[in-house]
Amino acid sequence: MDRIIFISIALISIVIVLVIGDYLYMGIWYYLAIPVVAYLLSLPFKPQNFFLTGISLAILLSYIPYFYFNITAIRPEGLLGLGHLFSLFGLALGIIFAGFYLKNKSLKPLPTLIMSFGISLSGFLFNQLVVCNTVFYCGKLLSSG
């Protein structure tokens, strides 16, 4: 059941890109490759129920600031997608940390979903902050005004 939900959420992002447009300017392969790599990273840990669902929700949530920024921008940033691409290393580390942490725990599905979502998204956000403050200018993506 978890794999079906994981695939469904991954397909939601692909449908959004096909219907609304690719605001990361990365191509459809990008939205296919990220869930595939996330799934392959989680396989060694034999994920529990809703582990993959939490990861797919974190991936989907990571697109939202970029889409919103480029939809509302007067002049969309074509290279903003590189900030997302460079931050995927943190997402991968978050998936691995969540897998190690939850590997031998017997949790109910909701805590597993929350932990996998929180740890993987935290890894992405931490790496996003590092990337935006060292090698990449994220502009108003991280600001409120």
User: How many domains are there within the chain?
Assistant: 1
Per run of 10 residues, the mean pLDDT along the chain (length 145 residues) is 92 91 88 95 92 95 88 81 90 95 87 95 93 79 57
Prediction pTM value: 0.90
Q: Which amino acid is at 70?
A: N
Q: Quick one: pLDDT at residue 123?
A: 96
Q: Which amino acid is at 43?
A: L
* Contact (Cβ atoms closer than 8 angstroms) between residue 93 and residue 123: yes
Q: Which amino acid is at 79?
A: L
10 Å CB burial of residue 75 (0-12, 13-18, 19+) is exposed
* Contact (Cβ atoms closer than 8 angstroms) between residue 90 and residue 125: yes
State which residues form the domain around 53. 2-141
